[in-house]
Amino acid sequence: MLLTIDYQILVMLPCVYDHFDPEDAYSCSNVMEEYQKKMKGLCGKLIRLLLGSLGLDQEDVKWLNRPKKSGRNFPQVLQLNSYPVCPDPSRAMGLAPHTDSSIFTVLNQSNISGLQVFKDGIGWVPVHPVPGALVVNVGDLLHILSNGRFKTAVHRAVVNELYHRISIAYFYSPPYDVKISPPMKLIDQDHPPLYRPVTWKEYLGIKGTHFNRALDLIRNDTDQAPYMHE
């Protein structure tokens, strides 16, 4: 069952429950609102640290300077995932392999393992929970924005036969209408733009239709990719 508290918060719950109390839902909504505010502040710090590591600042990524009065201008999604106990995990998948369409995703794993990332030459590697720590998955749009310097994380979630696992994912994304492309500081003749500019809204449409082929479909022919300099 997918329960939408408001346009910003998605709560994924088991399909069967014995009792539903509206007061509990209201209390849960308040907690999620507060959690989302904390995540929004954290992500604001994280994006500046990530850009700084590339030699960039807010002036290089203009949409970061936009007023944040409208939640729809800066769409943020908080998602709660529930993975019930599975009697035969070999025949089930909690979440299929994929990359996130966001700039990045901040994940609270709780204390149950289930997240795995794919590493070239090795295969699937478990990301075990660390008490007090959060996981940050690089998304497709940060891969595009950094011109491939930050690699989008291919990951999946597996189930187990002993524990019910719950995770909380916060997806940090740009405004819908802003075209995402690498700043000029990251582009030169040796490093042409790998992907054509794309808005998050457009990219979500491509991802919804073509799933994990989406990045390939907007990739430039780097032998002919446009290069401009100031």
The catalytic site residues sit at 165
Taking CA 196 as the corner, what is the angle to CA 143 and CA 224, rounded to the nearest 5 degrees? 110
DSSP assigned state of 110: T
Q: Do residues 146 and 186 make contact, with C-beta atoms less than 8 angstroms apart?
A: yes
Residue pointed to by tokens 């994304």: 173
Question: What residues contact 86, with CB distance under 8 A and at least 6 apart?
Answer: 92, 159, 160, 161
According to DSSP, the residues that pair with 105 across neighbouring strands are 137, 171
By C-alpha distance, which of 180, 93, 173 is closest to 139? 173
The tokens for 142 are: 């940060």
According to DSSP, the residues that pair with 195 across neighbouring strands are 219
User: Is residue 68 classed as helix, strand or coil in its secondary structure?
Assistant: coil
